[in-house]
């Protein structure tokens, strides 16, 4: 695993993903593959096997998960795929108009109020069009080009990188 700054690794991942991408006019015409969080786990790996033990630190009042190799197994079928998936935003970088870099997580509060899910349940995402600050707690649909790549962030290790083309509020 490469240990560069978060910005350097995201730029590298998005540049690599761009090399796999079709011209944006073709992507706009393509229908994204709708996926759920179970789709991030490779076929044949049961969900129960990606959750690890943990270390409890009573002094710091924290619990840190310990994942085995199943937690970093990624679904190779998603590498280079145009996808649409729901999730919640954990902001990493904001500009004046909203969040531009975030971790897409499967449930509200993941990585902030609870220990992070395994890497193959986290997506590092970057968007050119900022998502408004007043909608950070809303569930969202994201559409973009997915890349399978383990990345380190300040909050958690992620298994996927997403170059976001569009976002919208998820309506129940």
DSSP 8-state symbol, 86: E
Residues 6 or more apart from 96 whose CB is under 8 A from it? Answer: none
Residues 6 or more apart from 23 whose CB is under 8 A from it? Answer: none
Residue 100 has pLDDT above 90, yes or no: yes
* pTM of the entire predicted model: 0.79
Element (H, E) at 10: helix 6-20
Question: Regarding predicted confidence, which is higher, 98 or 55?
Answer: 98
Residue 162 has pLDDT above 70, yes or no: yes
- Give the SS3 label for residue 77: helix
Cβ atoms of residues 78 and 148 within 8 Å: yes
Tens of pLDDT, residues 121-139? 999 999 999 999 999 999 9
User: What gap in Å lies between CA 171 and CA 104, rounded to an integer?
Assistant: 17
In terms of Cα–Cα distance, which of 21, 12, 130 is closest to 83? Answer: 21
Tens of pLDDT, residues 28-56? 568 999 999 999 999 988 776 676 667 77
Across residues 111-126, what is the average pLDDT?
87
Residue 98 has pLDDT above 90, yes or no: yes
What is the structure's pLDDT at 68?
79
Residue 66 has pLDDT above 80, yes or no: no
Domains and CATH numbers, the chain: 6-167 (2.40.50.870)
């Amino acid at each position: 695993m490469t240990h560069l700054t978060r910005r350097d690794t995201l730029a590298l991942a998005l540049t690599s993903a761009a090399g796999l991408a079709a011209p944006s006019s073709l992507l706009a015409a393509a229908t994204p593959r709708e996926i759920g969080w179970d789709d991030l786990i490779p076929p044949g790996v049961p969900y129960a096997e990606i959750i690890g033990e943990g270390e409890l630190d009573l002094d710091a009042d924290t619990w840190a998960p310990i994942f085995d190799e199943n937690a970093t197994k990624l679904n190779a079928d998603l590498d280079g795929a145009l996808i649409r998936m729901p999730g919640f935003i954990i902001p990493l970088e904001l500009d004046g108009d909203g969040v531009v870099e975030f971790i897409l997580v499967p449930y509200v509060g993941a990585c902030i109020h609870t220990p992070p899910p395994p890497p193959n349940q986290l997506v590092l995402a970057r968007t050119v069009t900022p998502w408004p600050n007043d909608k950070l707690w809303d569930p969202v649909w994201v559409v973009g080009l997915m890349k399978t790549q383990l990345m380190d962030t300040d909050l958690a290790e992620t298994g996927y990188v997403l170059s976001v083309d569009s976002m919208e509020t998820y309506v129940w």
